[in-house]
Structure 1
Amino acid sequence: MDDQAQVEARPVAGGILRWYGIAWVLFGLCPPVVAVQGDPGTAKYWSLLVTATLGAAYLAVRRRFPEMPGATLYLCGLVLGLGVMARMSGGAAMFIAALPQFWVFTAGPRRALAFGAAGATATVLGGVTVAVPRMGFGGGGVVVVVIGYLVSSLLGLGAHRAIRQSAERERRLGAELAETQRQLAEAHRRQGATEERERLAREIHDTLAQGLASIVVLAEAARTNLDGDLVRAARQLTSIENTARENLAEARALVGAAPREGVAAGSVAQALRRTLDRFAEDTGLTVTAELSDVECDRRTWIALLRCTQESLANVRKHADATTVGVVLERHPHGVELEITDDGKGFVVARARGFGLDGMRRRLAELGGALTVTSSLGDGTRVLAVLPLSDDPEVR
C-alpha cells in the first residue's frame, strides 16, 4: 500500500476499529473478568491483569493502523491471553470476540488462518485442562470455538477474495486510465502541432507569400519599364525593396527572432491607409477609403490588416478591377471592414483556395465572421465583422 492509499485508508479503517474496540471490550474482555469476580482465589487478579494488558496492547496497535508495527507480537500475546483466560474462566466468548483481529492485523489469509487456529487451540486447551462448570466450558465450549473459527475462516477468505478482486479491478482501471491519459495527451500534442502548422501556414500565406507575389509582379513591371519609363521603374524597384524588408521583418517575427509587437505600429486605420497607398502605387488602380479611427486590441488589429492584405492580393491576381473601395467603421456590435471591387467577380460556392478559408478561420478565432458576395461580372464584396472588447486593458 502506497503512502497516499494509507493516508486515505486510515480514517475509514480507524473508525471501524474504534467501534470494534468498544465491542471487544464489552463482549471480549469484560465477560471473563465478571465471571471470576466471585472466585476467592487469585484468578480475578490474573484475569484483570491479562484483560488490561490485552486492552492496552490493542489500543496501541489500533493507533498505528494501517502501518501496524508490532502486530505480530500483539497477536502472539492475544493467543497466549486466550489460553490463560480460558483456563480461568472458559474463554469461548472471548475467542469469538477476538476472531476479527486475526484478519485485520495480518498481511494475508495464511497468517490469519494460522493465528486463528493457534487462538482456537489455546482456548480449547486452556478450557479443557480444568473443569469450569460455571461457564459450561466442555464439549459445548469446544464446539463453539471450532464453529466460530470455521465460520470466521470462511467469511475472512470470502472478504479477502473480494478485496483482492477489487484491488485487481482498481489496478486494471488505473492502467486503463493511465493509457487513456497518455493517448489524450498524445492527441492534444498532435492537435496542438496541427493547429500550429495551420497557424504558420496562414501567417506565411497572408504575409510572406503575398509579399513574394508582390515582388514578382513589381519585378516584371520594372523590367518592362527599364526600356522606357525609368522613373516608374525606379519607383517599382523601391517598392520591391520595401516589400522585401517587410517580408524579412515578418519572417523574423514568425520564428521569434523579432518581437511580434513590432508588426503593429500605429492605429489600424493608419496601417490600412499605408497598405492601400502601397497597393494603389504598385497596381495603378483607383482606391477609395473611408477609415474610422477604431481602437482595438492587437489580435483584432492584425486580423483586420490580414483580411485587407488578402482581399487586395485577390483583386490584384484575379479581379481585373479598376476601382477598389475600403470602408472601416465602428458599430455597436463591433467593427466592420468592407472591401469592394468592380472586377469580373466569381462564383463563391466554387471558390477553392487557402486565402478565404484562412480569413474565415482567423476571424472565427476572435468571434467574428466573414461574408463574401460576388457573381460573374458584378465585382466582389468582402465583409469582415469582429466584436470589440470593452476592457481597456486589451486596447
Structure 2
Amino acid sequence: MIAMTALAGPPADTLWATSLRRWNALCWVLFAMMAVGLATMDGPAGSRYTALALLGSVVLCYAVLDRFPDNPAIRPHVYLSVLAVALGGLAYLRSNYAALFMVTLPHYWMFGRTPRASMGFLGLATVGTVAGSVLRQDGWTVEFFSETVVSTLIVVAVGVLIGLWAHSVVAQSTERARLIVELEQTQAQLSEAHQRQGAADERERLAREIHDTLAQGFASIIVLAEAARAGLDSDTARSAQQLRSIESTARENLAEARELVGSAHRPGQTAAGSVARTLRRTLNRFTEDTGLTVDAELTDLVCDQQTRIALLRCTQESLANVRKHARASTVGVVLTRQAHGVELEITDDGTGFVVEESTGFGLDGMRKRLAELGGRLTVTSSVGDGTRVLALIPMAFEAPGEGEAER
C-alpha cells in the first residue's frame, strides 16, 4: 500500500517525494516479478505468452505515465483502462492473478483524479476480474461465489472506504495549503502596505518639519532682507539690526536642518526641558523682527521633548501667520497647566479670517502634530475680530515646584 501514501498531499520536501517514488517503484518491480513467475510456472504456452503480454502492457503504460507525469498528451485514464482490461484477462487465465487485483487498488485513487472517476475505474476492474474468474470456472457455484466474489467485494469495499478517506485528507490538505498561501500573500500585502504607509508618514513628518522650521526661517529672512534693503539709505542702524537678525535666523535654520537630518538617529529622544524658556526665545525674536507687542504669560512647565517641540511648532506657525496675514498690532501668548494637561493659547487683534475656508498646510500640520500626542487644536476667528488658536496636549506632571509663571 505504499502508493496510497501519495494521496496524503504534497510531500514535505523533494527528498521525501523521491524516496516515496523509489519505494513505489520497488514494490511494483516485486509485484511484476511475482506475476511473471506465476505466468511461467505452468499452463499452456499460449496462456503464458498472453499473460506476459498483458503484464507487459500494464508495465509499459505505467512506466510512460510515471516518466511523463505532467504531459497532457498522456492520460492517466488510459493507464487505468489498460489495467482494468489486463486484470480481467489475467483472472481469466489463472486464479492466482486475482491477487494482483488487490495490489492495484491504490492506483485507481492515485490516477483517477476525482472520486467519481476512481470508483468508476475500480468498478470496471472489479467487474472484469469477477467476469474473468467466472468464465475461467465455466460456471457459477456457491463455493466460487463465497470464495471469490464475496472476498473480492469485501476488498473493493475496504478499498473504497480507504480511498474516500484519502481523498478527504487530500482535500483538507489542499484547502489548508491554499489558506496558508492566501495568508502568506495577505501578510506580504499587509507588510507592503505598512511599509508604504510608514514611508508616507515619514514624508509627511519631514514635510511638516520643513514647513515649520526651514520654510518659516526662510520666510523671515526674505522679510528681513526686504526691510533691510529698503532702509539702507534712510535708517542704517535699523538695517544693520535686520542684517544681524538675518544672520541669526540663517544660523538657526542651519541648526534646524542639522537637527532634522540627525533626528532619524535619535528616534527615542525624550529629554525633558522648560517649555517657557523655549517659547520665550521665540517670542523675543518675533518682537525683534516685527516690532509687534507680545503679551506673554508662560507657566514654567517641564515637558518631554516631543511635547515641547509640538508647542514650539504651534507657536512658530501661529506667529508666522500673524506676520504674513493678520496685520495685527498685539499678540497674546498664554501657556498654562490644566488638570487634563497643558494649554497654549495664542491670540492676535488682526484682520482675522474664515476658518472653514483655510486651505494652508500650517493649520493642518498643527492638528496632525497634536493628534499624534493625543491632543487637539481649536482655531477661532472671524473677519475683523482677530484670531484665537488653542492647543491642548494631555500630559502628567511629575516635577515639583511647577506653576510659577514667567513674565
Question: How high is the TM-score relative to the length of structure 1?
Answer: 0.64
Q: Show the counterpart of 2:63.
A: none
Question: 1:257 offset after TM fit, Å?
Answer: 7.7
Conserved 8 A contact 2:341-2:393: yes
Provide closer, same or farther for how the CA distance between residues 364 and 149 of structure 1 changes in structure 2, counting only shifts above 3 A.
Answer: same
Conserved 8 A contact 2:272-2:305: no
- Work out whether 1:163 is the aligned partner of 2:169: yes
254, 257, 262: which is aligned to 1:256? 262
- Work out whether 1:298 is the aligned partner of 2:305: yes
Question: 1:263 offset after TM fit, Å?
Answer: 11
Higher RCO structure (Cα 8 Å, ≥6 apart): 2
Task: Tell me the distance in 2 between the aligned counterparts of 1:214 and 1:142.
Answer: 105
Question: 1:326 offset after TM fit, Å?
Answer: 0.4
Alignment partner of 2:384: what SS? Answer: coil
235, 243, 250: which is aligned to 2:241? 235
Task: Tell me the distance in 1 between the aligned counterparts of 2:252 and 2:11.
Answer: 60
Question: 1:299 offset after TM fit, Å?
Answer: 0.8
Q: Show the counterpart of 1:311.
A: 318
Counterpart mapping for 1:181-200 below 5 A: 181-200=187-206
Q: Show the counterpart of 1:333.
A: 340
Q: Show the counterpart of 2:277.
A: 270
Q: Which amino acid aligns with 2:223?
A: V
Provide closer, same or farther for how the CA distance between residues 219 and 338 of structure 1 changes in structure 2, counting only shifts above 3 A.
Answer: same
Any gaps of 5 or more consecutive residues in structure 2?
Answer: 1-9, 14-19, 35-101, 112-118, 120-124, 130-141, 400-407
Task: Tell me the distance in 1 between the aligned counterparts of 2:216 and 2:273.
Answer: 22
Question: 1:312 offset after TM fit, Å?
Answer: 0.2
Question: 1:229 offset after TM fit, Å?
Answer: 1.9
Alignment partner of 1:346: what SS? Answer: coil
Task: Tell me the distance in 2 between the aligned counterparts of 1:175 and 1:255.
Answer: 41
The CA deviation string for residues 329-354 of structure 1, in whole angstroms up to 9 with x for no partner, is 11110000000001111111111100
Q: Which amino acid aligns with 2:311?
A: L
Question: 1:186 offset after TM fit, Å?
Answer: 2.1
Task: Tell me the distance in 2 between the aligned counterparts of 1:258 and 1:170.
Answer: 42
Q: Which amino acid aligns with 1:203?
A: E
Conserved 8 A contact 1:348-1:372: yes
Conserved 8 A contact 1:250-1:263: no
Task: Tell me the distance in 2 between the aligned counterparts of 1:390 and 1:330.
Answer: 9
Q: Which amino acid aligns with 1:373?
A: T
Alignment partner of 2:303: what SS? Answer: coil
Q: Show the counterpart of 1:345.
A: 352
The CA deviation string for residues 20-73 of structure 1, in whole angstroms up to 9 with x for no partner, is xxxxxxxxxxxxxxxxxxxxxxxxxxxxxxxxxxxxxxxxxxxxxxx9x98988
220, 228, 235: which is aligned to 2:226? 220
**Alignment RMSD, CA only?**
4.4
Counterpart mapping for 1:40-189 below 5 A: 109=110, 139-189=145-195
Counterpart mapping for 1:380-395 below 5 A: 380-389=387-396
Alignment partner of 2:240: what SS? Answer: helix
User: Which stretch has the larger CA shift, 366-375 or 224-233?
Assistant: 224-233
The CA deviation string for residues 197-247 of structure 1, in whole angstroms up to 9 with x for no partner, is 111111111001000000000111111221122222121111111111111
Conserved 8 A contact 2:347-2:386: yes
342, 362, 371: which is aligned to 1:364? 371
Conserved 8 A contact 1:265-1:271: no
Q: Which amino acid aligns with 1:218?
A: L
The CA deviation string for residues 149-192 of structure 1, in whole angstroms up to 9 with x for no partner, is 11022222322333333333333333332322222222222211
Conserved 8 A contact 2:350-2:387: yes
Task: Tell me the distance in 1 between the aligned counterparts of 2:356 and 2:326.
Answer: 17
Q: Show the counterpart of 1:32.
A: none
Question: How high is the TM-score relative to the length of structure 2?
Answer: 0.63
Q: Which amino acid aligns with 2:236?
A: L
201, 208, 217: which is aligned to 1:202? 208
Task: Tell me the distance in 1 between the aligned counterparts of 2:300 and 2:168.
Answer: 74
Provide closer, same or farther for how the CA distance between residues 220 and 265 of structure 1 changes in structure 2, counting only shifts above 3 A.
Answer: farther
289, 296, 307: which is aligned to 1:282? 289
Question: 1:297 offset after TM fit, Å?
Answer: 1.2
Conserved 8 A contact 2:348-2:386: yes
Question: 1:264 offset after TM fit, Å?
Answer: 7.9
Aligned residues: 303
Question: 1:141 offset after TM fit, Å?
Answer: 4.2
The CA deviation string for residues 271-309 of structure 1, in whole angstroms up to 9 with x for no partner, is 100000000000000011110111211111110000000
Task: Tell me the distance in 2 between the aligned counterparts of 1:257 and 1:308.
Answer: 21
Provide closer, same or farther for how the CA distance between residues 137 and 199 of structure 1 changes in structure 2, counting only shifts above 3 A.
Answer: farther
Provide closer, same or farther for how the CA distance between residues 149 and 171 of structure 1 changes in structure 2, counting only shifts above 3 A.
Answer: same
Q: Show the counterpart of 2:114.
A: none
